[in-house]
Amino acid sequence: FRDKMFHIPTMLLVRSLRFCEKNLKTYLPLIQKNYCTFYDPPYLDSMKPKIPLYAALNVQIKGYDFALLESYQKLVYKIATVMDIEVADGWATPAKEE
């Protein structure tokens, strides 16, 4: 008696599962997005930096004329200070003989 009472046709069960799976795939990202953004305070978006931050930036200038290299080093330093980038060190390395 129980088997007949709770018997669901297999085709109906398969169709309903496919319908649920299709709707779940469609609406789950929307539900997750609304749920997450609804409970996040709005000021968190304004605290994110507009430009991504990097740990360190190394600039290497190579050339044969030392005076020209110094002038380019000065230019790179000026550009970095205008962009409000902290310059830790700047140095020249001796030329290599091969």
Say how many domains are in the chain: 1
**pTM of the predicted structure, to 2 decimals:** 0.45
The domain of 27 spans 2-47
Query: What is the arithmetic mean of pLDDT over 49-61?
Result: 82
CB 57 within 8 A of CB 85: yes
Q: Hey, what amino acid is at 81?
A: T
Query: For residue 84, is it left (φ>0), alpha (ψ between -120 and 50) or beta?
Result: left
List pLDDT tens digits, range 59-95. Answer: 888 888 888 888 888 999 999 889 888 888 887 777 7
Establish if 92 belongs to a structural domain. Answer: no
Look at residue 21 and tell me if it is in a domain. Answer: yes
- Radius of gyration over alpha carbons of the chain, in Å? 32
Establish how many alpha carbons lie within 13 A of residue 31's alpha carbon, considering only the half-sphere containing its beta carbon.
6
- 79 occurs within a structural domain: no
Residue 66 counted as domain residue: no
